[in-house]
Structures are given as C-alpha cells and as structure tokens.
Amino acid sequence: MSRSNLPPLRLHVPEPPARPGEEADFSHIDILPAGVTPRPDSAADSATMRDLAYGLVRVLDDEGNAVGPWNPRLSPDVLRRMLRAMALTRAFDDRMFRAQRQGKTSFYMKSLGEEAVSIGAAFALQRDDMCFPSYRQQGILIARDWDLVDMMNQIYSNKGDRLKGRQLPIMYSAKDASFFSISGNLTTQVPQAVGWAMASAARGDTRIAASWCGEGSTAEGDFHAALTFATVYRAPVVLNVVNNQWAISSFAGFAGAESTTFAARAVGYGIAGLRIDGNDALAVYAATAWAAERARTNHGPTLIEHFTYRAEGHSTSDDPSAYRSSEERSKWPLGDPVARLKAHLIAIGEWDEARHAAQDLELAEQVKAAAKAAEKNGILGHGMHQPFATMFEDVFEDMPWHLKEQSAQMMSERMRKWPKPGEGPR
C-alpha cells in the first residue's frame, strides 16, 4: 500500500439536522409504524433479539389505537391514572418553571414532552422497586403520589425542605418512594442501580432496580461500568436511556447517534436492548413491564432507549433558540405523549375533551394550592431556610471537632451580622 496514492485523512464532525433559522428536518429518522416490532418472550436469550435494538416498540398508532404484540391491555382506569399523572407533571413543571422566572428559586428543569418516559415506567414497576433517576424523572415521584409540597419545599430550599436546603432545586431524594437521591454529576446513578440490584439478588429479595440517564450522558465511563457489571452478574436492573435528541446544546450525534441507536449499546454487552417510542406511554409501560419481568425472573438486565424529544430548554439556564431550530418541537414525528394518551382514551370511549379540560383546571389548582403551601415555608434567598447550624449536620454521622469549631465560627458570624436578639434568620 503506497501511501502517496492516498488522499489525506479527513475528520468527520457530526452536524445536527437543523440549526437556528433552518427548517427543522427529521426526515432522516425512520419511524416504524406501531405494532410491527415483535415481542419476544421476556426469558429469551439476548442473542436472539439483537434486532430489537434497531426496531421501535410502539403501541399507540396515529389514530389513537393500541396495537400489536406489545399492547399491555391496561384497564381504562389505569390509563386514566397514567394520563392524570402525566398532566399533573406537566402542570407542576409549568408552575415551577414560572416560579424560577419569578425569582422564587435559582433553577428549574422541565420534563416537557418526556412525561411518558417516567410515568409509563413508574406504573409498570412495583412501588418498592428502587429508582435511580437523573434530573428529569420528576414524573416518577408524581406517579408514586409523592407530596407536591414536599417537592416544592425542595425546589425553594425553604425551611420545610427535608433535604435542609442543601441541594440545587429538583435534586430530590425520597427513600420512602424508593427514589434515590439525585446527583448533579451525570450518570453516577447507573452503576449504583446495578449495585443495588446485585445486593437485592444476593439477598434473595424480589425488588429490582431501575435507572435513567440521558443519551448525552451515556458517554460517561460510569455508564460503561454499569453495563459491564450488569452483564457480568446478570443483575436484575432496568437501565433506561432517555434519548431526547439533545444534551445541552449538543445533539445526540455527539453521543454517537449517527452510527447506531443507543439501544444497540446493549448488544455490545450481550444484554437485552429495546428501542421504544418514548412518547407512547403504553410502549413505555409495556417495555418496562417486560424488562421488569425479565429481571425478576433472573434473566438479567435490559437497556431501554426511549426515543423522545426534549420540548423545552435544557434548564432555566439556557435558551435553546441559540442552538436549534425553533420549529423542531412542532415537527417532532412522535407527537406529544399527553396528547397521544388522551387521544387513545377518547378513541376507546373512556375520556372526552371536556373531562380533559376540567382535569387540567383541577390539576392547575392542585399545583397552585401546593405552591402556596410551600411558599409559606419560604422561597429561596429570603431567609426562611433551615437553621444555620444544619449546615454542619450529616457531613458525618457524628460531628468531629473541626466541624464543631467551624459551626461555632459560623454562629459567631451570624451574631455579628444580626447582633440583636431575635434579629435575622436562625
């Protein structure tokens, strides 16, 4: 091979379909119709189902019918509860986003357009299955009927915050809801979920674990460690990758989406991988139930790629119009998860527009009432925080001398600032 005959090397750099000002274009995405992707037995060997990583599990078709082998055949009652949880999540997000804009807290992250991902899963898991979420699965807490006021106290870092105002808003922790403390550091939760599942299996328990991370986050080494441990020990765990097409300003191509799917990562480790319509609550339910059954019957882990779209900015700290076409949201080929589940319920005669509108009003009221209650405990930066001394608690179980000294120092600083008795926050 004579090298002088060779052209110079070139570097390929991924390019999203559309940048600001350009026409949104999802034509490169091949959307399989609902019902066509087969459903193997949940105990089948992963080697027999590699194609699923390149398929797309969908239950709800464009007419709102539930079709195909993955149809979980849920009762109308369960469907309505799922719809309600999704709508409540949306209402909650909406209010808290505005609260941040009103200066009531420092930060917020919506899950708009991705509600099915967490709520479909929460309904398919047992309530005591342990969830290791990223920051966009507030829907799990809501599906598990967690107290909205408790969540808001956390968002406001106020004196009612069980987490003592220590964490950035939305970094919940709710052990009683089997919901692990959210980390600011991406993807650390994924090997943790595997470790929890390994422990559960080692103990002969029946509870399984599940984790969630974004498609961008799959690049972190922790993700790989998790999949390696999961395949080695066949841990009873469901690993969810929420492919909402964007990290912050970086589209999924910078995590490898140009060359294959994220479900295909599972193939690389010889574990089951499902690629599903993440805007289809029934597909999410069905896939999660399948993976949970697989895990619970000692057939090992499953990775589920939820193909969805982040309809809002990454967080309150960014403006997506600076890096993507503003048309994208409306052109997203898999529609809106709330609208789709609603259409299904209407199609089967179990719901109607009027009930939906009434429910939306009711949920908005519920959220508003919760916000009012939470705000009574204070909003960020107005002094109604947990007592100063709590800062030094929980670093260790017992407080060592140096933290006691530092705590005393802080209290003496407080005295300088607010020398009069009763003055200032405590």
Partner 1 sequence: MPDAPATNMNMIEAINDALSVAMERDLDVTVLGEDVGYFGGVFRATAGLQKTYGKTRVFDTPITECGIVGVAVGMAAYGLRPVPEIQFADYIYPALDQLVSEAARLRYRSAGEFPMPITVRSPFGGGIFGGQTHSQSPEAIFTHVCGLKTVIPSTPYDAKGLLLAAIEDNDPVIFFEPKRIYNGPFDGHYDRPVQPWAKHPASLVPSGHYTIPLGKAALVREGQDLTVLAYGTMVHVALSVVEELGVDADVVDLRTLMPLDIETIESSVKKTGRCLVIHEATRTGGFGAELSALVQERCFYYLEAPVERVTGFDTPYPHSLEWAYFPGPIRIGMAIEKVMKD
Ligand X SMILES: Cc1ncc(C[n+]2csc(CCOP(=O)(O)OP(=O)(O)O)c2C)c(N)n1
Partners of 174 in the β-ladder = 179
From residue 241 to residue 280, the character string flagging contacts with Mg ion as x (rule: CB under 5 A) and all else as - is ---x------------------------------------
Name which position in 314, 324, 340, 385 contacts ligand X (CB under 6 A): 314
The DSSP letter of residue 246 is: B
Tell me the C-alpha distance between 243 and 233, whole Å: 26
Q: Which of residues 109-168 bind partner 1 (CB under 8 A)?
A: 130, 132, 157-158, 161-168
Q: Which amino acid is at 67?
A: V
94 binds, among partner 1, ligand X, Mg ion, none (CB under 5 to 8 A by kind): none
Tell me the C-alpha distance between 348 and 64, whole Å: 8
| 173 scored as a contact of partner 1 (CB under 8 A) | yes
- Interacting residues of 52 by C-beta distance below 8 A, sequence separation 6+: 37, 38, 40, 263, 272, 273, 274, 275
| 232 scored as a contact of partner 1 (CB under 8 A) | yes
| 215 scored as a contact of ligand X (CB under 6 A) | yes
CB nearer partner 1, residue 264 or residue 282:
264
Q: Which of residues 239-298 bind ligand X (CB under 6 A)?
A: 242, 244, 246-248
| 202 scored as a contact of partner 1 (CB under 8 A) | yes
73 binds, among partner 1, ligand X, Mg ion, none (CB under 5 to 8 A by kind): none
Q: Is the CB of residue 227 less than 8 Å from the CB of residue 265?
A: yes
CB nearer partner 1, residue 10 or residue 73:
10
| 187 scored as a contact of Mg ion (CB under 5 A) | no
244 binds, among Mg ion, partner 1, a second copy, none (CB under 5 to 8 A by kind): Mg ion
Tell me the C-alpha distance between 42 and 400, whole Å: 51
The DSSP letter of residue 368 is: H
Tell me the C-alpha distance between 263 and 328, whole Å: 23
Other C-beta atoms closer than 10 Å to the C-beta of 405 total 11
CB nearer ligand X, residue 112 or residue 343:
112
Count residues near partner 1 (CB under 8 A): 94
Tell me the C-alpha distance between 207 and 240, whole Å: 17
Q: Near ligand X by CB under 6 A, which window of 41-49, 161-169, 178-186, 365-373?
A: 178-186
Tell me the C-alpha distance between 20 and 266, whole Å: 33
Pull the structure tokens for residue 218.
């799959």
386 binds, among Mg ion, a second copy, partner 1, none (CB under 5 to 8 A by kind): partner 1
In Å, how far from its chain's centre is CA 240?
Answer: 9
Residues of this chain that bind Mg ion (CB under 5 A): 214-216, 244
Residues of this chain that bind ligand X (CB under 6 A): 136, 184-186, 213-217, 242, 244, 246-248, 310, 314
